Amino acid sequence: MKMGWDFRTGLVRRLTAWKSWDDPCPGDFTLGIEFGPQLHTFPEANIRKGSTKFYRSGSWNSFGLSSSPDLRPSPIYGFEFVYNEDEVYYSYSLKYKSVILQMVLNQTTLTHNSLTLIETDQTWSPVCRCPDGFKPKSPKNWDLMDWSGGCVRNNTPSCNHKDKDDFVNFYSLKLPDTSRSWLAEKLNEEECRAMCLNNCSCVAYTTHDLEGRGGDCVIWYGDLIDVRQISESGEDLFIRLPY
């Protein structure tokens, strides 16, 4: 995707939202490059609602736009800024041909999102999303596509009410960073669950068959880091949630 100005032809490329979900006419919620060519101001990407500036990207600092985590390189796409006598623009380029990405500017909710296509069920999903039972730690940052704060439980388990905790099985996952895990050998799923439930610090568990020696139990403490849903070779993770 490319947004910017062509000084030679006067062409301006910007993203404009529909008026509503069922009215594809251009609305007044836009994302584009703005600058003052006569005053030689530095270009920024701005979101406007009509004439009101709704959000600005910050200046380019060679790594990305200073206050826009979505407008900088990521594992999914690269980002380029060009400013010369012929044109000024920001552009995205996908790093993997297998990834299908769309940018959505929503007039109704006044939000800007990136979505990727989940091929298995042909649905669009946010680049990052919280699993059931969780919510963004900072909804404001997520609206700006800054997912670094991660997710938190809708309700936090209590050590005083362990009998009201349960485990929800999340399928096809890349398991969390194991630096905060502990391995117990030769425990089946039921024993692994009981071990985690009886330890107030345990937040999740899974069972493995390491080296073909039978069931092994892995339990996690603290934050679950770098959890991803993957279409192939994913594993089950049982996450502790109150009910």
Q: What gap in Å lies between CA 154 and CA 134, rounded to an integer? A: 5
For residues 62-71, average pLDDT:
53
Q: Is the pTM of this model over 0.75?
A: no
Q: What gap in Å lies between CA 37 and CA 28, rounded to an integer? A: 23
* Boundary (domain end) residue, out of 61, 94, 127: 94
Whether 27 is in a domain gets the answer: yes
85 and 11 fall within a common domain:
yes
10 and 80 fall within a common domain:
yes
Confidence of residue 72 (pLDDT cuts 50, 70, 90): low
* Boundary (domain end) residue, out of 68, 94, 120: 94
* Boundary (domain end) residue, out of 45, 70, 94: 94
> Could you report the per-residue pLDDT of 191-219, keeping only the tens digit for each?
999 999 999 899 999 987 665 556 788 99
Whether 124 is in a domain gets the answer: no
| Strand, coil or helix: 202 | strand
**Secondary structure percentages of the chain, helix, strand, coil, to 5:** 10, 45, 40
For residues 220-242, average pLDDT:
82
Task: Tell me which range, 82-96, 145-159, 181-195, 211-225, is most confidently predicted by mean pLDDT.
Answer: 181-195
Confidence of residue 240 (pLDDT cuts 50, 70, 90): very high
More confident residue, 119 or 216: 216
Q: Look at the chain and report how many structural domains it folds into.
A: 2
161 and 88 fall within a common domain:
no
Q: How far is CA 124 from CA 23, 25, 48, 101, 174, in A?
A: 20, 22, 25, 9, 20
Q: In this model, does residue 106 exceed pLDDT 80?
A: no
86 and 163 fall within a common domain:
no
Whether 159 is in a domain gets the answer: yes
**Residue carrying the six token digits 């209590």:** 158
The CATH number of whichever domain residue 207 belongs to comes to 3.50.4
Question: Range with the lowest mean pLDDT among 23-27, 114-118, 173-177?
Answer: 114-118
Whether 110 is in a domain gets the answer: no
Confidence of residue 122 (pLDDT cuts 50, 70, 90): low
Whether 143 is in a domain gets the answer: no
For residues 216-236, average pLDDT:
81
Whether 52 is in a domain gets the answer: yes
Domain that holds residue 88: 2-94
| Mean per-residue pLDDT of the chain | 77
